[in-house]
Each structure stands twice: as structure tokens, then as C-alpha cells.
Amino acid sequence: MPSLRAQPQGLRHPGPEPRARALSPAGHVRPVPGDVHHRGGHRGRGGGRLGDRRDRDRSAGASRFRAGAGPDIGGRDPRRPPLPQVVPGHAEGPAAPARPQPVEARLGKAPDRVYLDDAGAAPTLPEVAEALRNVPGGNPSSLHAEGRAARAALDAARDHLAAALNATRTEITFTASGTEAVNLAILGAAHRLPTHAAVLTWAAEHQSVIAAARNLQGAGHAVTIGPTDHNATVDLDAIKPGVGLISIGLANNEVGTIQPVAEAIERAHEIGALVHVDACAGPRWIDIPRGADLVSLSGHKLGAGRGGALFVRDGVRIDPQLHGGPQEWGRRAGREDVAAAVAIATAMTVNTSDRAARSKTAATQSAELRATLEELGGRLTGGDQRLPNYATATFARRRGEDMLLALDMGGIAASSGSACASGSLDPSHVLLAMGLSLDEALGSLRLTTGYPTTDQEVTRARAILTAVLVRTPAHA
């Protein structure tokens, strides 16, 4: 079968085009002859005052934010305590039965929560929140001054993300989410494969990858779902002649196992196959190997809070999955979300700096959490080569949802696997693919630290885990 790749390899297409320039301030418009536009003054984060105390008192129970105000980029101000809640019917009357003291009280600690679900949604980075303060609101396709300001911000974000990926601006396509980026890569590339070329992925990949492959299979495409080992590491022997496209994760989203992506790229290119790397999980901690033809990114896993992006190597053609205008180089129709583009470009730039130092801190913290999980009877999951912030285990006689609710009440935000499926009562397809029993797959727990996680929080989390999990009901 003839090669489907255009030479040469590499995330960056070599040539005379200079590397991407540094990101200009959001909304900056380069002057052109006859341009008399001057950007307006600072409008503030929320578009104006939220009102005085009496106004807030009169609107109790209403939304905390005025209609039309800007997005709450960083979430609730951590310095502001939550508003007290009044439960109807309990203001008067007989006293309610005494309830058990919360874990915080038993441990003698302040009721501060510990966020250990970075893999589910990384907290919005301060740099992202700052970058979003003055994002223009115009349509980038419009010719007026506001439209040009939006176009300038979008172009700067594209250049910034391209620089972080060692790519060119034409190789960057912004999407609404990581899931959309994955689907655009797999479906868009598969529709251009020769008739009998197969699509290959593996049983422990993210749901979006598996679902896209099944969609192709239902449409008549040849699809192979390869096996994984007990650590969720893919079996590269599944890469054989006749495969036209492979989709492999940078790291497993549920247990953190780092995949042999570089070797997969080499093997795939030897048989002329395209390679899609699902890099939604992992870029905060490890580099993306060069040579992939398609790379998908997820904003909320990078600390951007929103958006997605797809790297498409120069020379690779994909079919758009949304039809309409010519936006995003004809790969994705629809008005561009400038704020999301600025957010993900800023986040990726932050992620690529000081990776080694952050990874070292995360590895130390996760080792302590893993030790606690093992002491409490958990079976540790994930390979020796895993993302440094992951601490995962399964408990054969406990249910994941029981543990999550108990930990949540105790002050820990955790996960029982992929955020896209943690609300489901179905067993983890990743753990089943790893060969674990049904009981073990139903009792998974994932703790993932993030950039803001402190050693003191890890110490507190270990105490809460011990206090909570020993009391979580077991199931026969």
C-alpha cells in the first residue's frame, strides 16, 4: 500500500517560514495605513460593578452574577467563604437528630478542601485568567475595528500555541473541546483512507477514541481494537501492514500509564500509516514525541478551563466534520471562540515551562498517596512509567461511588476514573481491558495532584483517606 504520509516527519514542518512570534497582547491590532481605530479603555473583568451590599441583599437567592457579565474565569474567589445556606423548614421547631462529626472535626483540621482531580479538570491557571481579562468580543471574520481586534488576538493565540508545539500556524486548528479534536482527527483522517485501509486503536484508550472507532466500524470501515497489558500499555504488535491510521494516547487517562508513542510512530510510518496522538492527558507533565501526524489537545486538562485544539501536520488532509464557512483552514466551520483559543494557547505555553521541576514535586506527592492507598488495602494500578501526579488503586469489595461520596464529604475531591464516565455505574472499560475483575473495576479510585497542590494538602489528604476509607461499607 503506498505511503499515506508526506515527508518529512516532525511536529514542525521544515522550511523557510520563521518560527511563531511571541504572543501579542490580547486584542492588539497592528496599525495599517489609514487605520484610525484605537482600542477602548479597560472594561474590567465583569463589565461593571456588581452593586452595593443593599442591592445584593434585595436579590438574595438570585444569581451571583449579572446577566451579560463576563465569565467567571477562575471560579469562586478562594478568599471568599461560601454563602450560608438555609434549609427550608429547619429554621424553627425541634432540634434535628445529632449527626456524626465531619472528618475535619475529628481530625482537628480546618474545613479546607483538597482538590485531587487534576486529571478530571485542571484548575484554571492564573496566567490564563489574566490573559482572558481583555479578550476582544468581536467576530474575527468581520472587517470593522472590533473584528480586526478579535482576529489579531486569534492569530496571536495560534502563533503562541504553534510555538509551544514547535509547529507552524497553519498546522493549528482550534476546536470546542478535546473530544471534538479527537473526533475530527480520527473521523476526518479515516474518511480519506484507501478503501481497505484499517483504523487501529487499543482497548484502554479514552471513550472518545473508542466511540469514534466504533462509529467508523458501523459505517463499514475496517477497525481493529488492539489489546493492552495489565498496566494498560498498548500492544505495538497490532501495528501491521494494512493499517492506514492508528490512534494512541500519550498517556492513559485513568491510570496514568505513559504509552510508547515514539516507537508507535516509527512502526506506523514504516508501513505508511498516519498517527494520531491523543494528547489530552499528559502534556502538563511530559513532552509530546515528535513525528505524529495529528495531535489532539484538551483545554480543561491543560488548565485553560475551556476549548480544544488539533495539530494537523502540513501535507495531511482531513475531512471537516462541521460544515459551513472556511474557518480554521477549512477544517472546522463556525465562528471561532477567541477566548478559548487564547486560554488554551496560554495554558500550553505555561505547561511547557518548568516541566521537570513540577513533575518532580508531583511524583513525590503521588508516591505518598499511593503508599496510603496500598496501606488501606488497595491494589495499585498503572505502570512504572506513568504520569507523575497519578495515584490510582482498586478496592475489590468497595464501590467507587461510595468512596467518592465519602471522600467528598470528608473534604477531598477525587475521581473513580475518566471524568467522562465517572457519573456512570458501569465498570471501567480501562480496568477490564487490563484484566481486572468486575469487582475491582467497580471499585477504582483515582487521585491526581496538580500545580497548586501543596505538601500540607497531601498530608491532610492521607489522614482523611485513612479516616474515611476504613469506614466505607464493603460489598460482598
Active site residues: 420
Instruction: Write out the three cell numbers for 426.
Output: 458501569
Which among 215, 409, 170 has a CA at the least distance from the CA of 310? 170
3-state secondary structure of 191: coil
Instruction: Write out the three cell numbers for 371.
Output: 503508599
Q: What is the DSSP string of 407-449?
A: HHHHTEE-BSS-TTTTTS-SPPHHHHHTT--HHHHHTEEEEE-
d(CA 388, CA 392): 11
Place of cell 508507535: 264
Q: Provide, for the chain, the percentages of residues in helix, strand and coil under a 3-state DSSP scheme, each rounded to the nearest 5.
A: 35, 10, 55
The one-letter amino acid at 461 = A
Burial of 446 (0-12, 13-18, 19+ CB in 10 A): buried
Angle at 318 between CA 298 and CA 18, to 5 degrees: 70
d(CA 367, CA 359): 12
Burial of 199 (0-12, 13-18, 19+ CB in 10 A): buried
d(CA 337, CA 117): 26
d(CA 314, CA 242): 23
Angle at 359 between CA 403 and CA 363, to 5 degrees: 45
Could you say which DSSP state residue 143 is in? -
Instruction: Write out the three cell numbers for 221.
Output: 470501515
d(CA 217, CA 454): 46
Q: Give me the count of residues in the chain.
A: 476
d(CA 422, CA 207): 12
